[in-house]
Amino acid sequence: MSSLRSHDDTWDIKTSVGSTAVMVAAARAVETERPDALIRDPYAKLLVGNSGANVLWEKMLDPAIVARVEAIDADSAAHLHHMRSYQAVRTHFFDAYFNDAVAAGIRQVVILASGLDSRAYRLDWPAGTTVYEIDQPQVLEFKSTTLAENGVTPSADRREVAIDLRQDWPAALREAGFDPGAPTAWLAEGLLMYLPADAQDRLFAQISELSAPGSRVSAETAPAHAEERRQQMRERFKKVADEIGLEETIDVGELMYRDDDRAHVADWLNDHGWRAQSQAAVDEMRRLNRWIEGVPFADDKGAFSDFVTAERV
């Protein structure tokens, strides 16, 4: 159970779970500048730069700072490189998922807890595609305002659904124009680890109720870091941060719910009217030549997520 969460907590882009969106966008920004980039997100750097979030992970994604970390602690540096590579591989996987969905004729997309996801702006959506983004009101407002002020417009019919997923988001989604009779492509990326087990089950039950035959859903599963190892890494990062003069404001691990009875997503979907398959993130990283040797927890398979895709039958 997370010690920094409560049933009614809320956040903006600078605080709590909201700040993790800045961390992820920073990783996409760094990836975009690589000559061999797996993905291109031309808006990530803009969003990060305007967030005003003082996030340790964001600063440690700076190549110059990473070089300093490498000189101090090789394991911590390996973890940072892993995190950047993982985010690139994850983004690449779900970009391909959406490309496949629209190629199959789906024109209705829902991104749950969308954060600073810029797919509604950067992907080449077919005409007639509607992308619904669900997240906290302040998070959605920051993103849409920042991009609009810099002349960036969506490449699809983007509709904001400003509501907490613990509230009646299905009703709010319908009010925004969502058609439950049309096939939908759903995405739960970077979300499930911030939900307790019962909320995860409820989320997929709600998705199932709203999904017409032929709908698709894809999700990143919650990793299960061993508590002892997580604490060891936290202590190492704190030592490195103190040595190079960085202030850690949020322990991301303490924002997550660690439930031993959490359902396996693919199994749950297969038992509830979906045809699901799972791809280990570790295998996908190796397939794309982005596995980082020497990363901590490499021998702990539970410490890494799976990418699940499923189709409603």
pLDDT digits (tens, 9 = 90+) for 137-148: 999 999 999 999
Residues 6+ apart with CB under 8 A from 55: 19, 22, 23, 26, 249, 250
Residue 251 CA to residue 17 CA, distance in Å, equals 10
Residues 6+ apart with CB under 8 A from 240: 69, 72, 73, 76
pLDDT digits (tens, 9 = 90+) for 66-87: 788 778 877 777 777 888 899 9
Give the Cα-Cα-Cα angle 199, 223, 20 (nearest 5 degrees). 75
Task: Evaluate if residue 92 carries a pLDDT over 50.
Answer: yes
Q: What is the mean pLDDT of residues 12-21?
A: 64
pLDDT digits (tens, 9 = 90+) for 178-205: 999 999 999 999 999 989 999 999 999 9
- Could you give the angle at which helices 74-103 and 16-32 cross, rounded to 10 degrees? 90
Whether 9 is covered by a domain: the verdict is no
DSSP label of 56: H
Residues 6+ apart with CB under 8 A from 276: 265, 266, 267, 269, 270, 308, 309, 310
Whether 274 is covered by a domain: the verdict is yes
Domain that holds residue 293: 17-312
DSSP label of 194: G
Residue 68 CA to residue 244 CA, distance in Å, equals 8
DSSP string, 117-160: --HHHHS-PPTT-EEEEEE-HHHHHHHHHHHHHTT---SSEEEE
Whether 8 is covered by a domain: the verdict is no
| Tally of domains in the chain | 1
Whether 187 is covered by a domain: the verdict is yes
Whether 66 is covered by a domain: the verdict is yes
The residue that leads in pLDDT, 4 or 209, is 209
Here the CATH number for the domain that contains residue 98 is 3.40.50.150
* Residue with the two structure tokens 């997309």: 109
pLDDT the model gives residue 218: 98
Whether 63 is covered by a domain: the verdict is yes
3-state secondary structure of 275: strand
Taking alpha carbons only, the member of 216, 214, 219, 183 closest to residue 200 is 219
pLDDT digits (tens, 9 = 90+) for 267-292: 999 999 999 999 999 999 999 999 98
Whether 55 is covered by a domain: the verdict is yes
Whether 12 is covered by a domain: the verdict is no
Q: Is the pTM of this model over 0.95?
A: no
